[in-house]
Amino acid sequence: MDQAIYLATLVGTALVLAAAFSSLIAFRFGAPLLLLFLAIGLASGQDGLGIEFDNAGIAYFVGSLALAVILFDSGFGTPVNVLRQAGLPALSLATIGVAITTAIFGVAAHYLTGFSWLESFLLGAATASTDAAAVFFLLRAGNINLRERVRSTLEIESGTNDPIAIFLTLTLVEIIAIGADPEAQVLFLDLVLGFFVTMGLGAAVGILGGFGIVRLVEWLNLDRGLLPIFVLALSLLVFAAAGSIGGSGFLAVYLAGLVAGNSNMRASGALGRFQDGISWLGQIIMFLVLGLFATPSQFLPLMPVALALGLVLMFIARPIAVWLCLKPFSLTQTETTFISWVGLRGAVSILLALTPLISGLEHGRTIFNIAFMIVLVSLVVQGWTVGPLARRLGLIVPARAGPIEKVELELPGSAHHELLSYRVVPGSPVLRGERFPRWARPSLVVREGRSMKFPDFGRLVAGDRVYIFVSDRYPALLDRLFTSRVDLDPEDAEFFGAFAVDPARPAAELEAAYGTGLTEAEIKMTIGELFLSRFGGHVEYADRLTLGSIELIVRDIDEKGRITAIGLSFEPTRPQPLVPERLRDRVQRVLRWLRGSPVEQDV
């Protein structure tokens, strides 16, 4: 018995360590990290090293707990200003988009697999949600600085679409398991009613649970080492409580994290760091377990069907759903194109594909195997093309500031205050004469191993370590003082236009000089007000506004979101075609030949 315990611990820790070390490979080569986690699980399973694991119930239980932890961390790290900025388009994708994707994919699955309609829609629901971890790891690993609106939309969508997909999947599994064959109208009404009940209960429990977590953290004087464990246990309590009364536990735990993360509660910095670590562990364990459960030898007969369905999902179902959901909003065509492509499938799809197996459905194993291969296709095809596509569509913007070295220290009895430690880097504004705000005075400066009190240190020099005790409302304002200057290369400088335009100048000057076609109301505005009105009252760094033959680019904004600098370009950007021109010409020639039209010969 003792030997078995040691052996199981040895194997489990070895797999986790192998997955952790694989992140170095992913960062080096830009590979989808979660694909490596799955590959390690597959290589260790029955068809690899021979580890036998065939318990769908345990796999689903472990995966559900890991997903709850990941969703809490996702909500905890989502700022409320991001929610205001991209909430509506993202929630549209997370609800209506999931339903449209399920419907289109289900029709294709019915004709390609021979499944019944309900089984086909079940497979569609299981693969309808996107995986945030895969997308944002690739963006970080590739050092991709996306436009804020695009990044925020993707982040919120992937954090909120899992509960919808889970609800659809579990409902369809239940209907199939009891042998019901309801009419389409009855099925639709049941789904709509069940959706509002499940999501309503989940939302209520999640919001109340989030406020409860904040109150308990503030009231109880727990040890700093125990506090993160306490919050983690409370988040799982919210998840379980919502599920036990028929609500969506996954929506509840995400909203609880959202409320807790935006409440400025005590020790939020330490809690955030702990949540990051436990979220990584949850992802590793979930993908390893799901990889161990899969049997690759069963994939080969289903590979053509799975590949065809994966292509349908990537090139038909997801793009149509995204286009329909984002049409009412002010996103550009290139932004919509990128969002439609960045729909990577991940652990949630595999986890949901376990439910037909657990319920003993006739084609449960086949549904699981197809869903697993669709995830592999998505991670391989889309995972390696996210960065190149973002660059091709012109969605990457130059960095706004250079590196900053900052450490946040939690002090006992200093609720809502932080002790910040900055390292002065060459080129930072504090070395160019920028003064500290009144509410921030250095308490200590460490220079060449010697500590000096304010104001004994004189002028700061590069390499100094500065300690400042401030309220937690102000650190973002201090960051700008300690960032290094960014030297833009010629391409980045060209990105912001040929010359600067004062946002306070009248928009009428643009109309008089360039014939931009402004309305009478817009001519009375300033250039900054014109930009804001065209973007619905909220702009971001590097936003672009095309006006006839010119283009305005936001060069900088202040902390309150006001435009402080605008660039003007005489050559409005045009995204490069996704299909190379020569290949596109050949395709067009083939189509003309098929229609019987004359075809020109290459010169």
What would the pLDDT profile of 18-47 be if each residue is shown by its tens digit?
766 666 666 565 556 677 777 888 888 777
Mean pLDDT confidence for 201-206? 93
Could you check whether the bond before residue 475 is cis, i.e. omega within 30 degrees of 0?
no
Asked if 115 and 7 count as a contact pair (C-beta separation under 8 A), the reply is no
Mean pLDDT confidence for 558-577? 69
In tens, the pLDDT along 287-329 reads 888 888 888 888 889 999 999 999 999 999 999 999 999 988 8
Question: Strand, coil or helix: what is 383?
Answer: coil
CB neighbour list of residue 372: distance below 8 Å, 6 or more residues apart: 290, 294, 299, 350, 353
In tens, the pLDDT along 130-145 reads 876 666 666 655 566 7
| Token pair for 122 | 């079940």
pLDDT at residue 602 tops 50: no
Asked if 467 and 443 count as a contact pair (C-beta separation under 8 A), the reply is yes
Q: What are phi and psi of 474, to 5 degrees?
A: -110, -10
pLDDT at residue 410 tops 80: no
Mean pLDDT confidence for 546-563? 79
Min mean pLDDT across 74-88, 206-220, 410-424 is at 410-424
What pLDDT sits at residue 93?
92
What pLDDT sits at residue 583?
45
Mean pLDDT confidence for 55-73? 88
166 vs 490: CA distance, rounded Å = 48
260 vs 441: CA distance, rounded Å = 30
Q: Count the Cβ atoms, other than its own, within 10 Å of residue 342.
A: 27
CB neighbour list of residue 477: distance below 8 Å, 6 or more residues apart: 437, 559
Mean pLDDT confidence for 36-61? 82
pTM of the predicted structure, to 2 decimals = 0.77
Query: What is the DSSP secondary-structure string of 528-595?
Result: HHHHHHHTTT---TT-EEEETTEEEEEEEE-TTS-EEEEEEESS---PPPSS-HHHHHHHHHHHHHHT
Mean pLDDT confidence for 422-441? 74
Asked if 354 and 126 count as a contact pair (C-beta separation under 8 A), the reply is no
Render the burial of 274-284: b for 16+ CB within 10 Å, e for the rest: bbeebbbbbbb
In tens, the pLDDT along 471-483 reads 666 666 677 777 7
Residue 190: name the closest of 174, 210, 208 by CA.
174
Mean pLDDT confidence for 568-583? 55
| Higher pLDDT among residues 413 and 344, named by residue | 344
Which range, 163-172, 175-184, 274-283, has the best average confidence (pLDDT)? 163-172
Query: What domains are there in the chain, each with its CATH number?
Result: 2-392 (1.20.1530.20), 405-482 (3.30.70.1450), 490-569 (3.30.465.10)
| Token pair for 591 | 């189509």
